[in-house]
């Protein structure tokens, strides 16, 4: 396995982007899943469609929309630019791209976890004097942990592999916005760099194996705890 | 406890329309599956919002569409015991028991956990996980959890339906004792006439989403006699038997009842179906039934073509059931002296 300094930077950046995207998306994903599962309101279907849209759209399309939104002339980009916060072609753009693309996977998993909670457990909690936010914290959150874990793992893994949206909004600047997939893309374009590409592919596999193993171990730990 | 409801709730094609007022400490809500019992319970507890109307508990407005009042479930202080115990699976028995207690305002904490744990005999379960409890143990913990929330009203939604007969009748004394010991009124929901007879003083009968009648347990048992497979169920509390040729002889008023399904010591609860009592106009010469009781007819009632005969047996009451033609043939009227024959095996031990 051969890794140069730029590859190491790409690996760290990939981990940083995936972790940040997952951490940022988690509270919002949990809140949206809760809204969809437990609340009745007008426009719920629209919200569900919007949440799931990135799952069906090509990542390049998502990247292009993000570019329109976050670019210097975009609605949000204009404001951020005026405040001196550049987004486009920075690692933050890669985080936004990853968070957008992986978000539906996160919400879907948490939602599945929440849907498996017996409604009467929630009713029991409320009738025992717990306000809705108390029930959310003491019943729904702990009983959704499996879904939260599964969603986070999926989103983290998806973020690590994110390419299409990232290359459009963050570019492919070695040491700044170049993540593992972008670096592999660079290497793959040159026939002499097959070994380098393979090395990064191996690192990718290794990270994915670690993520899945941690997910399984935590899941088993949760199962053991709930069986006590 | 006084409960006043005038409310409507539409759910799909089903419409619940209730307008009633009921007072008492042990109220039953009786109805078949799909009649609206649980929907009514949800409206009272605040888990469902009525489309319109008002709900008052002891003169406190829980809901009023006119006054725009809708107390949230946690502020109503109405604890629910469900059909399945619904213990929180991620919490220990102790944490389950104290869930409501910890959320109860200190001023309202009248019941001490230690006294309830002793009453429900929960001490041996305290260190166990909820997954390792039997059905009956789970239901006892669920009951304890609801009572420790110090509710103003305990709402029991078919709490015995998921249990087998043995467990069912083991739990009933606990249900009654917590209510009596701690003075908590309850609403007991069930589709079982027997449970209504054992648990309620006053019963709201709900049919197709409407309160069809308000009845006493005895009235309900009479009204349902013809449709019920066991007819009218006589409930007998008997104690201190003497063993007699393989049977148990229980004192019952001035008589003795010979029962095959007894227990050597202590008190037991038995049910006797009205259809298991055979009536004779005259004293029979010899019969195989081990119990032959002289009795007087005090009342007769009709129930869809069958006749219920209320008998006084040396001051104790029994209800027998015969077809109309038999009543005519035997010329039974109020005041008639009859002989009731009951097999020793006809008594079914409940607890």
pLDDT at A227 over 80: no
Read off the tokens for B206: 């709900």
pLDDT at A228: 59
Same domain membership, residue B336 and residue B218 = no
List the domain range (segments joined by +) for residue B252. Answer: 233-349
Within-domain flag for A191: no
Within-domain flag for B215: yes
Looking at residue B317, which CATH number applies to its domain? 2.40.50.100
Q: List CB contacts (< 8 A) between A139 and chain B.
A: 88
pLDDT band at B233 (very low <50, low <70, confident <90, very high): very high
Same domain membership, residue B218 and residue B128 = yes
Cβ–Cβ < 8 Å for B241, B250: yes
Domain end marker among B204, B223, B242: B223
Within-domain flag for A124: yes
pLDDT at B92 over 80: yes
Same domain membership, residue B130 and residue B108 = yes
Within-domain flag for A91: yes
pLDDT at B162: 82
Within-domain flag for A198: no
pLDDT band at A224 (very low <50, low <70, confident <90, very high): confident
pLDDT at A211 over 70: yes
List the domain range (segments joined by +) for residue A49. Answer: 15-177
Looking at residue A76, which CATH number applies to its domain? 1.10.3720.10
End-to-end Cα distance, chain A:
45
- Tally the residues of chain B: 351
Across residues B55-63, what is the average pLDDT? 95
**What is the distance in angstroms between the Cα of A157 and the nearest Cα belonging to chain B?**
28
Report the percent of chain A where pLDDT is more than 90: 77
Dihedral sign from CA coordinates of B102, B104, B105, B109: negative
CB contact under 8 A, A142 and B149: no
Separation of alpha carbons B346 and B331, rounded Å: 26
Cβ–Cβ < 8 Å for B93, B138: no
Same domain membership, residue B43 and residue B154 = yes
Within-domain flag for A118: yes
Find, among B279, B286, B175, B273, the residue nearest to B226 by Cα.
Answer: B273
Count of structural domains within chain B: 2
Count of structural domains within chain A: 1
Across residues B20-34, what is the average pLDDT? 93
Looking at residue B70, which CATH number applies to its domain? 3.40.50.300
Domain end marker among B191, B223, B255: B223
Summary mean pLDDT of chain A: 92
* Lateral strand order in the sheet of B267-273: B233-239, B267-273, B348-349
Within-domain flag for A89: yes
pLDDT at A225 over 80: no
Answer whether B49 touches A (CB < 8 Å).
no
Which chain B residue lies closest to A145 (C-alpha atoms)?
B90
Q: List CB contacts (< 8 A) between B77 and chain A.
A: 129
- State the complex-level ipTM: 0.84
CB contact under 8 A, B86 and A143: no
Across residues A159-185, what is the average pLDDT? 93
pLDDT band at B258 (very low <50, low <70, confident <90, very high): very high
pLDDT at A226: 67
Dump pLDDT digits (tens) for A2-59: 888 889 999 999 999 999 999 999 999 999 999 999 998 999 999 999 999 999 999 9
Domain end marker among B183, B200, B223: B223
Q: CA-based angle B101:A120:B79, to the nearest 5?
A: 35
Across residues A66-90, what is the average pLDDT? 89
Same domain membership, residue B238 and residue B216 = no
Within-domain flag for A53: yes
Within-domain flag for B253: yes
pLDDT at B153: 94
Mutant choice from A119, A123, A129 vs B, greatest count of B C-beta within 10 A: A129
Within-domain flag for A81: yes
């Amino acid at each position: 396995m051969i890794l140069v300094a730029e590859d190491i930077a790409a690996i760290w950046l990939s981990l940083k982007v995936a972790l940040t995207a997952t951490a940022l998306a988690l509270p919002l994903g949990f809140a949206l899943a809760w809204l969809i599962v437990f609340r009745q309101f007008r426009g719920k279907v629209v919200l569900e469609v919007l949440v799931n849209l990135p799952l069906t759209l090509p990542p390049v399309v998502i990247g292009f929309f993000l570019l329109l939104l976050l670019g210097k002339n975009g609605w949000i980009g204009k404001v951020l630019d005026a405040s001196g916060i550049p987004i486009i072609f920075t690692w933050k753009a890669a985080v936004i791209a990853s968070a957008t693309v992986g978000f539906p996977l996160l919400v879907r998993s948490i939602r599945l976890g929440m849907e498996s909670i017996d409604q009467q457990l929630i009713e029991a909690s409320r009738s025992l004097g717990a306000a809705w936010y108390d029930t959310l914290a003491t019943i729904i959150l702990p009983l959704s942990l499996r879904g939260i874990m599964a969603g986070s793992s999926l989103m983290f893994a998806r973020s690590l592999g994110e390419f299409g949206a990232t290359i459009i909004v963050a570019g492919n600047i070695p040491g700044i916005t170049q993540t593992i997939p972008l670096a592999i893309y660079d290497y793959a374009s040159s026939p002499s760099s097959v070994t380098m590409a393979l090395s990064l592919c191996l690192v990718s596999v290794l990270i994915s194996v670690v993520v899945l193993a941690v997910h399984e171990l935590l899941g088993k730990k949760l199962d053991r705890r709930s069986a006590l | 406890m006084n409960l006043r409801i005038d409310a409507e709730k539409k759910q799909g094609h089903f419409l619940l329309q209730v307008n009633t007022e009921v007072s008492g400490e042990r109220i039953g809500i009786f109805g078949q599956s799909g009649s609206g019992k649980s929907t009514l319970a949800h409206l009272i507890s605040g888990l469902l919002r009525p489309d319109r109307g008002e709900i008052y508990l002891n003169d406190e407005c829980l809901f009023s569409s006119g006054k725009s009042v809708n107390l949230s479930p946690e502020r109503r202080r109405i604890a629910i015991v469900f059909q399945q115990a619904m213990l929180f699976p991620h919490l220990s028995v102790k944490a389950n028991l104290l869930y409501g207690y910890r959320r109860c305002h200190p001023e309202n904490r009248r019941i001490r956990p230690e006294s309830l744990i002793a009453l429900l005999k929960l001490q041996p379960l305290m260190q166990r996980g909820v997954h390792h409890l039997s059905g009956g143990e789970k239901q006892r913990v669920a009951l304890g959890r609801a009572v420790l929330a110090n509710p103003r009203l305990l709402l029991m939604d078919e709490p015995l339906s998921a249990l087998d007969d043995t467990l069912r009748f083991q739990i009933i004394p606990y249900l009654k004792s917590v209510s009596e010991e701690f003075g908590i009124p309850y609403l007991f929901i069930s589709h079982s006439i027997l449970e209504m007879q054992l648990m309620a003083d006053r019963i709201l009968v709900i049919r197709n989403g409407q309160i069809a009648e308000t009845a006493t347990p005895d009235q309900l048992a009479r009204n349902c006699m013809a449709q019920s497979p066991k007819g009218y169920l006589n409930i007998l509390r008997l104690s201190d038997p003497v063993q007699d040729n393989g049977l148990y002889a229980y004192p019952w008023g001035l008589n003795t009842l010979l029962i095959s399904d007894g227990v050597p010591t202590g008190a037991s609860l038995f049910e006797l179906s009205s259809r298991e009592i055979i009536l004779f106009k005259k004293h029979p010469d010899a019969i195989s039934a081990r119990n032959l009781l002289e009795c007087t007819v005090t009342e007769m009632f009709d129930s869809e073509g069958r006749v219920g005969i209320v008998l006084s047996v040396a001051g104790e009451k029994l209800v027998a059931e015969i077809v109309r033609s038999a009543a005519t043939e035997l010329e039974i009227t109020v005041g008639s002296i009859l002989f009731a024959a009951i097999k020793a095996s006809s008594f079914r031990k409940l607890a």
